[in-house]
Amino acid sequence: MRQNETSETKLNWQKIGSGPNLILLHGWGMNGAVWQQTAERLSHHFCVHIVDLPGFGFSYQAGFSSMDELVQPLLDEAPQQAIWLGWSLGGLVTTHVALHAPERINGLITVASSPCFAEQKPWRGIQPKVLSAFTTQLMDDFHLTIERFIALQAMGSPSARQDLKTLKQAVLSRPSPNPQALLAGLTLLANLDYREYLTTIQAPTLRLYGRLDGLVPIQVERDMAALMPNSQSYVFSQSSHAPFMTEPDEFCQQVTEFARLHSM
Listing DSSP states for 79-135 in one string gives -SSEEEEEETHHHHHHHHHHHH-GGGEEEEEEES--S--B-BTTB--B-HHHHHHHH
- Which of 26, 59, 88, 163 is labelled catalytic? 88
Q: Any catalytic annotation for residue 88?
A: yes
- Tens digit of pLDDT for each residue in 195-245? 999 999 999 999 999 999 989 999 999 999 999 999 999 999 999 999 999
148 vs 94, higher pLDDT: 94
pLDDT at 3 over 50: no
Q: Any catalytic annotation for residue 52?
A: no
The whole-angstrom separation of Cα 146 and Cα 164 is: 12
The whole-angstrom separation of Cα 37 and Cα 177 is: 22
- Which of 26, 49, 96, 241 is labelled catalytic? 241
Task: Give pTM, 2 decimals.
Answer: 0.93
The whole-angstrom separation of Cα 113 and Cα 90 is: 8
Mean pLDDT for 57-70 is 95
Domains and CATH numbers, the chain: 2-262 (3.40.50.1820)
Mean pLDDT for 165-176 is 89
- Which of 52, 163, 213, 223 is labelled catalytic? 213
pLDDT, the chain, mean: 91
Q: Any catalytic annotation for residue 44?
A: no
Mean pLDDT for 85-106 is 97
Pairing of strands 47-51, 13-16: antiparallel
pLDDT of residue 257: 96
pLDDT of residue 5: 37
Three-state DSSP class for 2?
Answer: strand
The pLDDT-based confidence of 264 (bands split at 50, 70, 90) is low
